[in-house]
Structure 1
Amino acid sequence: MTARLIIQLAGLLGALSVGIGAFGAHGLRAMLTATNRLETFETAVRYQFYHVLALLAIGILYQVRPELRGLGTVAWLWLGGMLIFSGSLYVLCLTGITKLGAITPIGGLLLIAGWVMVFVVAMRQL
């Protein structure tokens, strides 16, 4: 993954995070509160946004230091983690399909693996 693509994804996912958060807060609040899913939805948005900001930082670092190839792996891990972790929680909240909750930890593991990869890159290449 290139630095440019990482930064573009961060911008796109950042906008999406704000939009999803606003939609949840204003358009879905009554439904999510009635189903006791508001806190779950907010967790999904929060984790997505944290990783969007981290993705942006990684993209900028990769632009400045393109030799840090492991940062592309970090980006892929975080992208997959956001899609699976936050995505499964969004679907759970909006549809009530609780079976999707079984894949949420896989997304969490991908997010963790991305952070471990940041550590590895720092140990080996910085």
Structure 2
Amino acid sequence: MRLIQNKRFLLSLSNQSRYFIVVAAFLGATAVMLGAYASHGLSTWATPAQITQVQTASQYQLFHAITVLIVALISSLFPHRLISLSLWFFTLGTFCFSGSLYYLVFLGSKLLVLITPLGGLLLICAWLCLGISMLFKQK
């Protein structure tokens, strides 16, 4: 019986939830790949500081991939504009924060260096939106 209920839940997911589950899977897979490369392949050409930057980026990316997955599922159970907004902020924040660190290390350019704190700010906003959304009574 429980399996049937779980299957119904998965089939009833909103398009937004499905989209962000796909995003979470992409973020998770690439975080694992880049983290593994930082641990095993990066040392042949990168400095210890660069290796640390890639490890930090991949850890934040993996953590927030899991967060996006969980929040996407929550958004189907408790639809709220702030939850939807938090999903966008988590996704954009992760791309900005981790992506700018990868860009800095792999391309050697500081062009996007100001994007890193913007990504961090977006992640903070995402957490705040998620928390505030839970203060509202669900219908």
Deviation, 1:95, is: 2.0
Larger RCO of the pair (alpha carbons < 8 Å, separation 6+): 1
2:52 aligned to 18, 33, 39, which one?
39
**Structure 1 residue 90 corresponds to structure 2 residue 115:** no
Deviation, 1:29, is: 2.3
Using the alignment, how far apart are the partners of 1:28 and 1:110 within structure 2? 28
Local SS of the residue matching 1:45: helix
Q: How does 1:53-64 map to 2 (within 5 A)?
A: 53-64=66-77
Q: How does 1:42-121 map to 2 (within 5 A)?
A: 42-65=55-78, 67-121=79-133
Normalising by structure 2, what TM-score? 0.81
**8 Å Cα contact 2:34/2:54 also seen in 1:** no
Distance 1:38 1:71, change over 3 A: same
RMSD: 1.7
Deviation, 1:58, is: 0.3
Residues 16-66 of structure 1: CA deviation (Å, up to 9, x unaligned): 1111111222222222236x311111111111111111111101111223x
Using the alignment, how far apart are the partners of 2:108 and 2:75 within structure 1? 39
Q: Which runs of 5+ in 2 are unaligned?
A: 1-14
Q: Which has the higher helix share?
A: 1
Deviation, 1:100, is: 2.1
Q: Which runs of 5+ in 1 are unaligned?
A: none
